[in-house]
Amino acid sequence: MKVAVIGTGYVGLTTGVCLAFLGHEVHCLDVDERKVAELKAGRVPIFEPNLVELMESVGGRLQFTSAYAEAIPEAEIVFIAVGTPSQADGQPDLKYLRSASESLGIHLKAPFTVVVNKSTVPIGSGNWVEALIRESQKAHGRHSEFAVASNPEFLREGSAIADSLYPDRIVVGADSGRALEMLYSLYRPVIDQSFAAPAFCPRQEGFASVALVSTDLASAELIKYAANAFLATKISFINEIGLLAGRVGADIQHIARGIGLDSRIGSRFLNAGLGWGGSCFAKDTAALSATAKEYGLGMEIVEATRRVNFNMRERVIERLLDTLKIIKGRKIAVLGLAFKPNTDDLRDAPAIDIIRRLKDRGVIVTAHDPVAMERFRHEHADLAGMLVDSSVEAIQDSDAVVLATEWHEYREMDWGALAGTVKQKNLLDTRWALDGEAMRRAGWNLLRLP
């Protein structure tokens, strides 16, 4: 099918590349001309494992452009995958969605187009996008048939390709049967798992089909928010139990295993520690609460989940104060900047929050990340002076090390040798990434969260 994807960020680019890989003809469109120039030159502006390889494998089926006139008129299906960042009141900022919809009104031309919201958008956005397109069509003397659908995205940065090719489910919501039919056709190779798996991203044995949830627009929109809120709640729940476990002398790792083996609970997203960050959980839980407020409802569990999560960042400072007593003027190394390993995404990364809190308290911070330092320099220029070229350099002469993101490289370091390079052997492993016994044998005072 002929497809256009508006927005070539983490979601749009992955979607475009994967659809081209499945055999569709895809135009990826972005208003950021620098990004488009990079992509045209075969370079991927984000860090996502295997995305370059998959992009190289699809050849001419994938085109990049910054011109709506080039990507949209021929497309049978148009995905909107623009950003929907949080505003101060928790509501997502929909200016990119508005702008994309208005441009669609000018350029839609095919006999029938399905416009698909893949961005995470508040309930009712499907109707809103439809109205914006119609208004824009009217203003520009245009008319063509279209229907709006919702197809929320569940991929995780760092494993975006596997999540797109082998998802747990596909959710499509629309009030038009024709739109739903076209989306089934588009996703048929994924639903039936009928494509040849790429060598670098093999299919798990026995994985033969993908569940399809087809529903109305509002339900599809709410499924996305509910899924993220539930995952965020699991993490905050185990952290809250972890706080009590610390007081009563219980082991949170054993507790997580002990409850996670209950199939009704499940063991994933029960990792105690620094808590969640990233571009989605904070934004989407805030949006869910803000929407509920519009209807006179309080999202009490979601609000508590947020509070518990953000308190974990202050807890890092508390642990350092407990241990060092005075942190002003001390040297503290922060390892890991990205909000999780295998991505360079710094949006709502806990490490950055921690660095700012340390800086405000007069700490001399050194920081390192295996892949996100270039982005950090660009997005947090005021903190760029803290960056050093290697983790070894960051740690040297420090009074404490905070492991904020559990990159493989940090797990594998020679912590025994590093113990000889620091001023004080305090190591706060906020992600439970290191072997406690081995660290203690190497002489480290190993601290953990919560």
Ligand X SMILES: NC(=O)c1ccc[n+]([C@@H]2O[C@H](COP(=O)([O-])OP(=O)(O)OC[C@H]3O[C@@H](n4cnc5c(N)ncnc54)[C@H](O)[C@@H]3O)[C@@H](O)[C@H]2O)c1
Q: Which residues bind ligand X (CB under 6 A)?
A: 6-12, 29-32, 35, 81-84, 96, 99-100, 119-120, 153, 155, 157, 279-280
Give backbone dihedrals phi and psi of 214, rounded to 5 degrees, phi first: -110, 130
Instruction: Decide whether 162 or 327 has the Cβ nearer to ligand X.
Output: 162
Instruction: Tell which residue, 409, 449, 427, has the closest CA to residue 316.
Output: 449
Judged by beta carbon, residue 55 or residue 245, the one nearer ligand X is 55
Least Å from the CB of residue 301 to ligand X: 21
Is 18 labeled as catalytic in the residue annotation? no
CB closer to ligand X, 9 vs 173: 9
Tell whether omega for the bond before 85 is within 30 degrees of 0, i.e. cis: no
- The nearest distance, CB 125 to ligand X, in angstroms, is 10
| Of 8 and 289, CB closest to ligand X | 8
Report the candidate in 163, 289, 156, 168 with the shortest Cα–Cα distance to residue 229: 289
- The CB-of-274 to ligand X minimum distance in angstroms stands at 18
CA 391 vs. chain centroid, Å, equals 24
Q: Which residue is nearest to ligand X (CB)?
A: 9
CA 367, chain centre distance (Å): 22
**Ramachandran class of 335: left when φ > 0, alpha when ψ lies in -120 to 50, beta otherwise:** beta
* The residue type at 228: N
Strands 169-174 and 145-150: antiparallel
Shortest Å distance, C-beta 27 to ligand X: 11
CB of 298 to ligand X, least distance (A): 23
What are the Cα distances from residue 290, in Å, to 92, 287, 303, 348?
A: 9, 5, 10, 19
Q: Among residues 17, 308, 3, 313, which one has the least CA distance to residue 155?
A: 17
Return the active site residues: 280
